[in-house]
Amino acid sequence: MFKANGAYLKLPGNYLFSEIASRVAAYSRENLQKADRILRLGIGDVTQPLAPAVVQALHAAVDEMADAQTFRGYAPDMGYDFLREAIAANDFASRGADIAPDEIFVSDGAKSDSANIQEIFSADARIAVCDPVYPVYVDSNVMAGRTGTYDAATGLWSNVVYMPCTAQNGFVADIPGSGVDVSLIYLCFPNNPTGAVIDKPRLQAWVDYANEHGAVIVYDAAYEAYITDPNLPHSIYECDGAKTCAIEIRSFSKNAGFTGTRLGYTVVPHDLKDADGVALHDLWARRHGTKFNGAPYIVQRAGEAVYSAEGQRQTREQIAYYLQNAQLIVEGLRAAGYDVSGGTNAPYIWMKTPDGMGSWEFFDHLLQSAQVVGTPGAGFGPHGEGYFRLTAFGSRENALDAIERIKRLQ
């Protein structure tokens, strides 16, 4: 009899958002008259429609696909040059980062890239993650059998280095001590779930650490577009030496509303080599060639349109709208006496639960008493316990309504 992959069986419980969805569904079934009132500030999906410049590019590309003269079949595995060149110029050269188009691998989004990137590291590579953390980094390594055993009491894996992000360190992980053995470090700024950002000197210190210790940083910059402070780095390649120690992952989901359209990319510089001189770029290219058949032409044309002058103006307006929601949520919660961080240069608001309530306890309380859905911090790791995440991706009306309801809870 066949056997399933035992590594999957080690994964504890439901994926966080499935658990939330099932609690909300159960509440809706049992409280039919209140189901319509539910405000969802939990999952990080956007709500604004695609920008007109993007829609126009999609229509034009569909017309090309409808004509035998301009029809396109399989896209190049690593992406069309028109998109890779636009990315290199707009996301990197404009910030003084020297990334060549052929170091950019276009994909269907940051979730798959951040889950798959571990494949090009050795089976015994030790990972380090922030705690709390976007769950995909750990779960994908669990599936690959790299994380040891799970301790249900602590919520920790035996072979993972956890880097606590607390109010004391401003939710920016401290660099591991010199004796800590780690080869793959996941960092995400602006951060999901805490909304924390990192300044250039602290990011440079991470780069220096990785270069000194022969480690690789997987830098998830999915929320880079939310940075408005001109002093904050948008890319890890703004730091000296990052090309020998960092992979950067980006997404079109949160800067341009592509959550349902699907587009992202990963940068693997040619200079990034392992202890034996193996270039990770070659391995990721090999992986793409074998396991990925390219992002759709029409979607890559839509991505290119994000970088047009109109596309930039329109998508920046959308981001400004979400950031204003974030500001209103932060101010509203603070006025109501809550201890809140994030929400500036980031679409996530990280609040301390009141009266020492547990994260899930507060989730149920908020759902039942105010019909507001957020995300329990504990779902992102043990140090998320006692915290709660709200997102700014909804409508202005819903953000204001949710704040009023939370204030009335007092």
253 binds ligand PLP (CB under 6 A): yes
Query: Sheet holding 348-352: strands in order across?
Result: 340-342, 348-352, 387-391, 375-376
From CA 368, how far away is CA 362, in angstroms rounded? 10
Single out the residue of 183, 251, 300, 325 in contact with ligand PLP (rule: CB under 6 A).
251
Query: Which one of 65-73, 103-111, 179-187, 383-391 is the stretch in contact with ligand PLP (CB under 6 A)?
Result: 103-111
CB atoms within 10 A of CB 355: 6
**Encoded tokens for 6:** 């035992």
342 binds ligand PLP (CB under 6 A): no
Partnered with residue 256 across adjacent β-strands are: none
44 binds ligand PLP (CB under 6 A): yes
Residue 90 CB, nearest approach to ligand PLP (Å): 17
Nearer CB in complex with ligand PLP: 58/65: 58
Nearer CB in complex with ligand PLP: 114/371: 114
Q: Is 70 helix (H, G, I), strand (E, B) or coil?
A: coil
111 binds ligand PLP (CB under 6 A): yes
**Encoded tokens for 371:** 């019909």
* Binding positions for ligand PLP, 360-399, rule CB under 6 A: none
From CA 204, how far away is CA 242, in angstroms rounded? 8
With contact defined as beta carbons under 8 Å apart, do 223 and 190 qualify?
A: yes
116 binds ligand PLP (CB under 6 A): no
* Binding positions for ligand PLP, 184-203, rule CB under 6 A: 188, 192
Partnered with residue 220 across adjacent β-strands are: 188, 249
From CA 146, how far away is CA 158, in angstroms rounded? 10
With contact defined as beta carbons under 8 Å apart, do 311 and 51 qualify?
A: yes
Single out the residue of 16, 114, 304, 376 in contact with ligand PLP (rule: CB under 6 A).
114
Residue 2 CB, nearest approach to ligand PLP (Å): 31
Q: Name the amino acid, one letter, at 235.
A: S
Nearer CB in complex with ligand PLP: 83/222: 222
With contact defined as beta carbons under 8 Å apart, do 399 and 405 qualify?
A: no
State the DSSP H helix or E strand holding residue 258, giving kind and residue range, or none if neither. none
Residue 112 CB, nearest approach to ligand PLP (Å): 6
Nearer CB in complex with ligand PLP: 44/379: 44
* Binding positions for ligand PLP, 123-152, rule CB under 6 A: 134
217 binds ligand PLP (CB under 6 A): no
Applying CB under 6 A, what is the total number of residues that bind ligand PLP? 14
> 340, 258, 347: which is closest to 41 by C-alpha?
347
259 binds ligand PLP (CB under 6 A): yes
Under the rule (CB under 6 A), what is the footprint of ligand PLP?
A: 44, 109-111, 114, 134, 188, 192, 220, 222, 251, 253, 259, 264
